């Protein structure tokens, strides 16, 4: 590791990312069921603290109270227009028969009690819940002039059952005689009838029940400590135009699907923005319980890409920068006691943050726009579009990824800030080492640079400033060679040392040099003053 060859000044010139105003928005999306491979319509409502997922339902708004969500309606068949409705689906498709179209100003529409998306339960008292499409068509065509049907709104009706007439059908095996679930029986139900022509339907009575279709709350997810994931469950692959929101209390949104990648990304950004704002507010509250030198700088969910063959391809961890340490949790710390239950704790000066080369995700998004099916994934790139490594002092490392480039930028700036503040607090770090059989103390000091002294007598063996370090090399195990330039004769002097914890020492050297450069950068200093607004002083 070449500690002198790093250029810390390059990564500290960008301003600190600040929280932006809270997003409040409403929109239509699809809820994807991975078990049935179906989608149903939903409405999303995003507020500062909650994401609500609503489904459509039919509710009673007049005509007395009813404790049943079943509706029974009498339809009087007309010579022109028949029953005035179309149906799709059937048991052969593992979905109920659903009303897919109601023709304006015809019989079904005039009742005010039938809606697109209603599942047909009974016809003239005969149950059709497990009937095929053709069986229901046969019953309706031969039910007489007055047809009594019982329906219930199918909240999870697949979207294709409610497509308008003339929509393209999905591909199917033409050798099979099973009709597509998109087969619409409007003509067969509403064509010419052999029955007599009844009179016009009477106007609805004022005492008859009234119904309307509306969006109702199904799931409300609190956003505090929530996380967003685009990965398929149990895999390292990204879903196309899809993501999930998982709340701290264990509730989840299921898979939310959007028509375009741009729309999906916009919702991810809005939800993540609100999560980050709640995290900042929570940090302010928690920091009141901690000393000024032990404040939380940043925390949030990351995806940990594990390298072992006997573990899942990834798992989610909660990462936090607090005081002098990097904390890794399985679940977020809720109380002050939880901070002592971290899975791992590392000194921030002895770890190295490294941003991976970014993959431009828009390339994959463009491809997904051309292929609207959720079967097409950006599998080649996996879920590491925005990733970084945390190299630990004992030589191991974690490879983390986040959902957005803005999240990656925040983590990068937060690590820089944490290192800078820790170096400013400690001012110096000393490590035991050996050279030519002697036990020495190697000290990294923010003001004076590098000093090597005898362990027993404390006598200084050699001393150099940070600016005199011109290069380094190590064997990756215990030994390092440091190359310093003599300030008087300009000659290069090599110092060879051996450490039991070499990686931690090299990371610490890098941290001190980066902090030294940062202290001379007015832009970076100003960003630190801004960042302290988010901590309790």
Closest to 33 measured CA to CA, from 196, 214, 233, 169:
233
CATH of the domain at 314: 2.30.29.30
Identify whether residues 529 and 489 lie together within a single domain: no
Phi-psi region of 112 (alpha: psi -120 to 50; beta: other; left: phi over 0): left
Same domain? For 137 and 94 the reply is: yes
The one-character DSSP state at 231 is B
Domain CATH for 77? 2.30.42.10
Residues 87 and 36 in one domain: no
Q: Is the pLDDT of residue 37 over 50?
A: yes
412 and 294 in a single domain? The answer is yes
- Comparing CA positions, the residue from 308, 278, 535, 314 lying closest to residue 417 is 535
The better pLDDT of the pair 460, 185 is held by: 460
pLDDT at 463: 97
**Position 133 in a domain:** yes
* Same-domain pairing of 29 and 99: no
pLDDT tens digits along 139-164: 998 888 999 999 999 988 887 777 65
Surface-to-core class of residue 354, CB atoms within 10 Å of its CB (0-12 exposed, 13-18 middle, 19+ buried): middle
Classify residue 529: in a domain, yes or no: yes
> Would you say residue 118 lies in a domain?
yes
Say yes or no: 391 and 529 in one domain: yes
CA–CA dist 66, 60 (Å, integer): 8
d(CA 174, CA 18): 57
Question: How many domains does one find in the chain?
Answer: 4
Read off the pTM. 0.77
Q: Find tokens 């002097």 and name the residue.
A: 493
Percent of the chain past pLDDT 90, that is, above it, reads 58
Q: Which of 95-109, 177-191, 367-381, 483-497 has maximum average pLDDT? A: 483-497
**Lowest mean per-residue pLDDT among 229-238, 402-411, 437-446, 482-491:** 229-238
List pLDDT tens digits, range 191-236.
544 444 444 544 555 567 788 889 987 799 999 999 999 887 666 6
Structural domain includes residue 472: yes
Give percent above pLDDT 70 in the chain.
76
Q: Residue 78 contacts by C-beta under 8 Å, 6 or more apart in sequence?
A: 84, 106, 107, 193, 197, 198
Give mean pLDDT, residues 180-184.
58
CB 487, CB 462: distance < 8 Å: no
As a whole number of angstroms, the distance between CA 319 and CA 411 comes to: 10
Continuous segment of H or E residues that includes residue 138: helix 133-141
- Residue 20 has a pLDDT of 54
Say if residue 175's pLDDT is above 50.
no
In a domain, 372, yes or no: no
What is the chain's mean pLDDT, rounded?
82
Task: Kindly report, residue by residue over 375-424, the tens digit of the pLDDT.
Answer: 333 333 444 578 999 999 887 899 999 989 989 999 999 999 999 999 99
Which region among 52-61, 356-365, 375-384 has the lowest average model confidence (pLDDT)? Answer: 375-384
Residues 457 and 350 in one domain: no
Question: Residue 258 is part of a domain; what is its CATH number?
Answer: 2.30.29
Alpha helix segments (H runs only) across 386-478: 405-426
Core vs surface per residue 113-130: b (16+ CB within 10 A) or e:
bbbbbbbbbbbeeeebee
| DSSP assignment letter at 250 | S
Domain that holds residue 335: 289-358+383-423+504-536
pLDDT at 282 over 60: yes
Q: Are residues 37 and 114 in the same domain?
A: no
* Residue 298 Cα distances to 158, 224, 407, angstroms: 42, 14, 11
Radius of gyration of the chain (CA): 33
Tens-place pLDDT, residues 92-149: 988 899 999 999 989 999 998 999 999 999 999 999 999 999 999 999 988 889 999 9
Q: Looking at the predicted structure, is the pLDDT value of residue 168 above 60?
A: no
Same-domain pairing of 302 and 336: yes
Looking at residues 528-534, what average pLDDT do you find?
A: 43
Q: How far is CA 333 from CA 157, 162, 256, 319, in A?
A: 40, 45, 28, 10
pLDDT exceeds cutoff 50 at 278:
yes
182 occurs within a structural domain? no
For residue 187, is pLDDT > 80?
A: no
239 lies in some domain: yes
Asked if residue 530 and residue 394 are part of one domain, the reply reads yes
Pair (412, 532) in one structural domain = yes
For residue 38, tell me if it sits in a domain.
Answer: yes
Residues 347 and 412 in one domain: yes
Among 168-177, 265-274, 281-290, 510-519, the minimum mean pLDDT is found in 168-177
């Amino acid at each position: 590791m070449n500690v002198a060859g790093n250029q810390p000044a390059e990564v500290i010139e960008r301003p600190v990312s600040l929280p932006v105003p809270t997003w409040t928005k409403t929109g239509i999306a699809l809820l994807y069921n991975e078990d049935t491979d179906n989608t149903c319509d939903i409405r999303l409502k995003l507020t500062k603290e909650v994401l609500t997922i609503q489904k459509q339902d039919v509710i009673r708004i007049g005509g007395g109270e009813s404790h049943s969500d079943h509706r029974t309606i009498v339809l009087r068949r007309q010579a022109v227009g028949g029953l005035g409705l179309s149906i799709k689906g059937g048991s052969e498709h593992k979905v109920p028969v659903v009303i897919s179209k109601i023709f304006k100003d015809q019989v079904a529409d005039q009742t005010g009690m039938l809606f697109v998306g209603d599942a047909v339960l009974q016809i003239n008292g005969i149950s059709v819940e497990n009937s095929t499409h053709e069986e229901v068509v046969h019953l309706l065509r031969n039910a007489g002039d007055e047809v009594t049907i019982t329906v219930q709104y199918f909240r999870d009706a697949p979207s294709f059952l409610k497509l308008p007439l003339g929509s393209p059908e999905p591909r199917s095996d033409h050798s099979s005689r099973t009709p597509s679930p998109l087969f619409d029986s409007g003509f067969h139900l509403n064509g010419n009838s052999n029955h007599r022509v009844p009179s016009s339907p009477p106007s609805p009575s004022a005492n008859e029940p009234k119904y309307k279709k509306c969006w109702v709350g199904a799931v409300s997810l609190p956003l505090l400590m929530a996380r967003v994931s685009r990965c398929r469950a149990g895999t390292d692959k990204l879903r196309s135009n899809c993501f999930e929101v998982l709340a701290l209390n264990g509730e989840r949104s299921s898979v939310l699907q959007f028509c375009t990648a741009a729309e999906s990304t916009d919702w991810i950004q809005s939800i993540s923005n609100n999560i980050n704002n709640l995290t900042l507010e929570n940090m302010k509250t928690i920091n009141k319980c901690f000393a000024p030198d032990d404040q939380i700088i940043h925390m949030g969910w990351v995806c940990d890409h594990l390298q072992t063959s006997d573990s899942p391809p990834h798992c989610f961890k909660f990462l936090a920068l607090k005081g002098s340490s990097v904390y890794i949790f399985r679940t977020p710390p809720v109380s002050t006691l939880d901070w002592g239950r971290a899975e791992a704790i590392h000194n921030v000066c002895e770890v190295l943050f490294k941003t991976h080369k970014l993959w431009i995700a828009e390339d994959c998004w463009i491809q997904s726009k051309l292929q609207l099916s959720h079967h097409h994934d950006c599998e080649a790139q996996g879920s590491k579009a925005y990733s970084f490594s945390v190299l630990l002092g004992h030589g191991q490392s974690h490879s983390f990824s986040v959902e957005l480039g803005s999240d990656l930028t925040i983590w990068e700036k937060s690590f820089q800030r944490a290192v800078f503040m820790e170096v400013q607090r400690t001012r110096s770090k000393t490590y035991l080492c050996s050279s030519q059989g002697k036990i020495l103390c190697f000290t990294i000091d923010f003001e004076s640079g590098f000093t090597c002294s005898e362990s027993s007598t404390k006598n200084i063996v050699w001393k150099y400033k940070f600016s005199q370090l011109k290069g380094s090399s190590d064997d990756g195990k215990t030994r390092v060679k440091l190359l310093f330039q003599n300030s008087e004769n300009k000659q290069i002097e090599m110092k060879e040392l051996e450490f039991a914890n070499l990686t931690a020492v090299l990371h610490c050297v890098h941290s001190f040099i980066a902090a030294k450069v940062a202290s001379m950068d007015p832009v970076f200093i100003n960003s630190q003053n801004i960042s302290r607004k988010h901590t309790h002083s």
